[in-house]
Amino acid sequence: MSKRVVLLANNIDELGGAQRVVQVLAGGLASRGYDVTIVGVEPLGERTAHVASTYQVERLLETPYPKQAGAELDSLRAGALRKLQAILDAGEPGILVTAQVWAMEHALDCDLVGWRTIGQFHSSIEAAAFGKDLDRILRAYRDVDQFLALTSVDAMRFTQAGLNNASWLPNPLAQWPSEVANPQSRTVTYLGRLSAEKAPMTLMQAWRIICEQGRLGDWNLNIIGSGPHDVQIQAAMTDLPRVQLLAPVADPYVALKETGILAVPSLIEGLPLVLMEALAIGVPAVASDCSAGVRELLDEGRCGLLVNRGDAAALASGLCELAENDELRARLGRQGREHMLAYERERILDQWEQLFESVNR
Amino acid sequence: MNANPDVSIIVTSGGDLDGLFANQTLRRFEVVAEFNAAGGAWVLFAPEYVVLERHIVKNLLLAAEQNGADVAVGAVRPHLLPTTVSVEELSKLNAHSGEIPSTHVLFRREWLSAQTALLDELVKGAARIQISALIEAKIIVTIAQEVIAPKLRKMPNAKNAKGSPFKNLPALAFHFAKLMPLKNEVLFDVEGGRAIDTELPALATQWRVEHPKVHQHWVAARNRHSFTHAWHLGRARWLVVNEVFRNRLPKREGQIMVVAACSMPLLRVGRDNPDWVLQPTSERRPAWSQVGRWDLACVASPLNEQILRSSTAFVGEVVQASVFGDAVIAAASEPHTKSQLTLDQDRPVVVLTFFTAQSVPDLTVLADSFRDTIQLFAVTDDGSRLQLPDGISQVTENVAKWLAVADLLVTDWSVLTLEFGRLQRPIIALEPHRVDVVRRRGTYVDLMSVLPGPVVESVSDVLPLLHEWIKDRDTLSSFNERSASFAALAGQTSGEAAKRIWSAMVGV
């Protein structure tokens, strides 16, 4: 069995969940003796320094694709495909893992003879259907050796939607925090992109409700992130007490260490890495019931509270319930940390190796 | 093909064996011409002319191995995720034929060797296997066969028109309509038609009065994908749809898509219901698939908003307004409505509303019992013609007025239930299909606890309730406190619903 693995993603420079997962997986597999190359289709923003020299890093394009279709885009795409083919042909065929469907759409135009292919989708089927991804996934991943969803429920739904090669494998935690978060912390933290689907404004509304009810007077709300809803958040903050908007952080554990409760008000999610990291460091969460992944991570309420999505009043009440009960918070935090052991990097890597054996049959 | 195969595919009729299965996900298999030459621990019999679906052999193999089965059967229905079944259960699943194609079945070679009669049939080239022949086996049913993506309905677009424009006139119409500027026109692309004057027809009527220069075009389900439909799809500035599960409509830059959500609180097929795969393909697409295209949602009630928000990821603007609700309230406050409808002022009025014509039970016993004491009328959401016993009349027009004069509603959760709920009068839920629909599919609210009246399962259960109610109108007063909470679910009306929706739509 070839030990060569190529991990292909839309880009490998973002701080986003899928990119972090690709890097963690690459490092982990390389440490187990695999010859790993990670490939980003296009550069995005500042280049992330991939310090680990245990795997190779390639980018198919030097500049991002133009926004409009046309000759320039066609020419760039042809160049990207030539480069991808050259990377694949540089050694014996092994396993090609595509982290996102757009990346897979590039790989499909290459000669993959001899390669075993694994296609991933890093969100829920609801998220796929929300945009245009579901149809693309059904097309691009129909013939891969294994399609991987994040949870068993998503895998079942993708099967029902038409993929009979669907299985599931959760994302690994990048690192296991040795210390737990400060149990005395009186901070509710939101950590993520400030965009419509993450619904930070619902959290702001919830905070307003809490303040109007005169509750949680000794608690703060930290909104950490950036995105298209920056301005709205800033406007909403002006008459709200104890709210801070902070810049995104490279190491989420730094912020989570001083967090009492993580708020995840999203409308759509997959298996959110930030929620996994919060639970791993012992921070319980109040999250919207927006995906099978969130439900699985909160383990039927053993690690946090689930509330209806888009429901600011329910979110406010969940936050108050948790914030006003130190014992409950401590218990859920403890259970969350235990639950996250299953997502530890080495355990997930074991499952990846079993998967490699299976696709090589 | 493989020196150490897991599966031997036996093709007894010869032919070009090597080329037949080259695309399989499973690589560790061999193709042989006879059972005695099989080297794999598992065998599958295939006729020469069959091209096996890419993942079938691997899915069968993994299911069989993981469950320690003797036989793995590939299911055509995707809801049959790996399940160990008895021969009887398998027979029920294939009740129409009692047999399964041989290409859907993977056998443990050792087990099959002992089944001489079955083996003999297969070796002779039998393309189908009698389920009864598997009586000795531990059987696992799994996903294996053709579960390829459901066919997406072909919507008109320029791509479809390429190559064969005259074969796809709607596509051509859409293509040319798109080349023209948008027109101030409202296209109602509506499921359920306009048989009765509920929400969207009421809205259309109001707008026709208030905005006479804005052209309206109405397309019901049966007229979709016509030349005219495609033409208006390409030109109308506003698209109004009322079905969450519609397949994707094409949408031009600048077009505004409005969804009208006023359905009853049955859980949406697709997200909440484990049986969603049993639904027709057209209904199987998740509620999220269309959401990204909606610009505005008009919800008839707070309950509808709650349903919309929890069953989709809709993030756009929501207007809560019910034009039909306005009409009901207006008619109820008008003192002469009963006279206008030429009703007897002394006898109470009971309106029976039903979800569809198919869901109407035999009402003879009801008509016989109350012909002289109650004025009985029936309405269906789809407006189809009913065969009703003497004593019950069907209503298809002025439904708002009929609801307004009704003293009591008997319903199987037709869409009119919420509208009537605003009047805070008693409702008897008659749910003969409760077991089949409500219990299986589930609801967003607990019907038993929110309805301002009892829930019964047959017409004969309604009789004693009506007898008591006739004697004493307060007999259902124990449900009074629910009347207010149910009215809250149904929402308030402002009398200006059509105006509010219009200004929201124009303001998007």
Q: Domain ranges in chain A?
A: 4-172+344-359, 187-342
Nearest chain B CA: its distance from A138 CA (Å): 6
- Tell me which residue in A126, A138, A358 faces B313 most closely, judged by beta carbons: A126
pLDDT at residue B417, rounded to an integer: 84
Average pLDDT over residues B364-388: 88
What element of type H or E holds B501? helix B497-507
pLDDT at residue A52, rounded to an integer: 58
Q: pLDDT confidence of B13, banded at 50, 70, 90?
A: low
Q: What percent of chain A has pLDDT over 90?
A: 66
CATH T-level fold of A187-342: Rossmann fold (3.40.50)
Distance (Å, whole) CA B264 – CA A215: 37
Q: Is B342 exposed, middle or buried (0-12, 13-18, 19+ CB in 10 A)?
A: exposed
pLDDT at residue A48, rounded to an integer: 58
Whether the CA torsion B54, B58, B63, B64 is positive or negative: it is positive
Average pLDDT over residues A145-168: 88
Q: pLDDT confidence of B193, banded at 50, 70, 90?
A: very low
Residue B166 has pLDDT above 60, yes or no: no
**pLDDT digit string, tens, across residues A263-276:** 999 988 889 999 99
Per-residue tokens: B449: 């606890």
Q: pLDDT confidence of B109, banded at 50, 70, 90?
A: very high
Average pLDDT over residues B164-169: 59
Q: Is A232 exposed, middle or buried (0-12, 13-18, 19+ CB in 10 A)?
A: middle
Average pLDDT over residues B413-420: 81
Q: What is the mean pLDDT of chain A?
A: 90
Residue A59 has pLDDT above 50, yes or no: yes
**pLDDT digit string, tens, across residues A20-40:** 889 899 999 999 999 999 999
pLDDT at residue B147, rounded to an integer: 38
Q: Is A113 exposed, middle or buried (0-12, 13-18, 19+ CB in 10 A)?
A: exposed
Listed by number, the residues of chain B in 337-366 with a beta carbon closer than 8 Å to a beta carbon of chain A are none
Per-residue tokens: B474: 């307060």
C-alpha closest to that of A186 among A253, A252, A283, A258: A258
A161·B149 Cβ contact <8 A: yes
B289 chain-A contacts, CB cut-off 8 A: 129-130, 134
Residue B409: strand pairing partners: B351, B427
Q: pLDDT confidence of B149, banded at 50, 70, 90?
A: very low
Residue B135 has pLDDT above 90, yes or no: no
Q: pLDDT confidence of B395, banded at 50, 70, 90?
A: confident
Asked, colleague to colleague, whether B158-322+497-507 and B334-490 share their fold, the answer is: yes
pLDDT at residue B289, rounded to an integer: 53
Nearest chain B CA: its distance from A131 CA (Å): 6
Average pLDDT over residues A144-156: 92
- Tell me which residue in B25, B143, B309 faces A159 most closely, judged by beta carbons: B143
What are the DSSP E strand ranges found in A137-203? 146-149, 166-168, 187-191
Residue B208 has pLDDT above 60, yes or no: yes
Looking at A156-165, B28-37, B441-450, which range is the least confident one? B441-450
For A4-172+344-359, CATH number? 3.40.50.2000
What element of type H or E holds B140? strand B139-143
For B334-490, CATH number? 3.40.50.12580
CATH match for B158-322+497-507 among 3.40.50.10420, 1.10.357.10, 3.40.50.11820, 3.30.360.10: 3.40.50.11820
pLDDT at residue B72, rounded to an integer: 92
> A344 vs A139, A261, A287, A293, CA distance in Å?
32, 22, 21, 16
Backbone angles phi, psi at A54, to 5 degrees: -80, -15
Coil, strand or helix: which one is B260? strand
Q: Count Cα neighbours of B196 within 13 Å in the Cβ-side half-sphere.
A: 27
Q: pLDDT confidence of B181, banded at 50, 70, 90?
A: very high
Average pLDDT over residues B37-42: 92
pLDDT at residue B97, rounded to an integer: 59
Q: pLDDT confidence of B245, banded at 50, 70, 90?
A: low
**pLDDT digit string, tens, across residues A278-329:** 999 999 999 998 889 999 999 988 999 999 888 899 999 999 999 999 999 9
Greater confidence (B194 vs B35) lies with B35
A129·B289 Cβ contact <8 A: yes
Distance (Å, whole) CA B67 – CA B453: 50
What is the pTM assigned to this prediction?
0.62
pLDDT at residue A176, rounded to an integer: 92
Q: What percent of chain B has pLDDT over 90?
A: 21
A195 chain-B contacts, CB cut-off 8 A: none
Amino acid at A323: A
Residue A187 has pLDDT above 90, yes or no: yes
Asked, colleague to colleague, whether A4-172+344-359 and A187-342 share their fold, the answer is: yes
Closest alpha carbon within chain A to B285: A161
B78 chain-A contacts, CB cut-off 8 A: 159-160, 162, 164
Q: pLDDT confidence of B275, banded at 50, 70, 90?
A: very low
Q: pLDDT confidence of B78, banded at 50, 70, 90?
A: low
B59·A164 Cβ contact <8 A: yes
pLDDT at residue B352, rounded to an integer: 94
Residue B382 has pLDDT above 80, yes or no: no
Residue B103 has pLDDT above 50, yes or no: yes
B291·A130 Cβ contact <8 A: yes
Check if the beta carbon of residue A146 is closer than 8 Å to that of residue A167.
Answer: yes
pLDDT at residue B7, rounded to an integer: 93
pLDDT at residue B270, rounded to an integer: 46
Per-residue tokens: B224: 């979709």
Residue A196 has pLDDT above 90, yes or no: no
Q: Domain ranges in chain B?
A: 7-143, 158-322+497-507, 334-490
- Tell me which residue in A142, A163, A310 faces B309 most closely, judged by beta carbons: A310
Cβ of residue B277 closer than 8 Å to a chain A Cβ: yes
**Complex ipTM more than 0.90, yes or no:** no
Token look-up 């009740």 returns B95
Distance (Å, whole) CA B55 – CA A146: 9
Cβ of residue B313 closer than 8 Å to a chain A Cβ: yes
Q: Which of B315, B317, B444, B445 to mutate to test the interface with A (most CBs of A within 10 A)?
A: B315
Nearest chain A CA: its distance from B154 CA (Å): 13
B288·A156 Cβ contact <8 A: no
Q: Count Cα neighbours of A167 within 13 Å in the Cβ-side half-sphere.
A: 19
A112 chain-B contacts, CB cut-off 8 A: none
Closest alpha carbon within chain B to A269: B313
**pLDDT digit string, tens, across residues B448-496:** 778 888 888 889 999 999 999 988 887 887 777 788 888 888 887 778 8
pLDDT at residue B140, rounded to an integer: 85
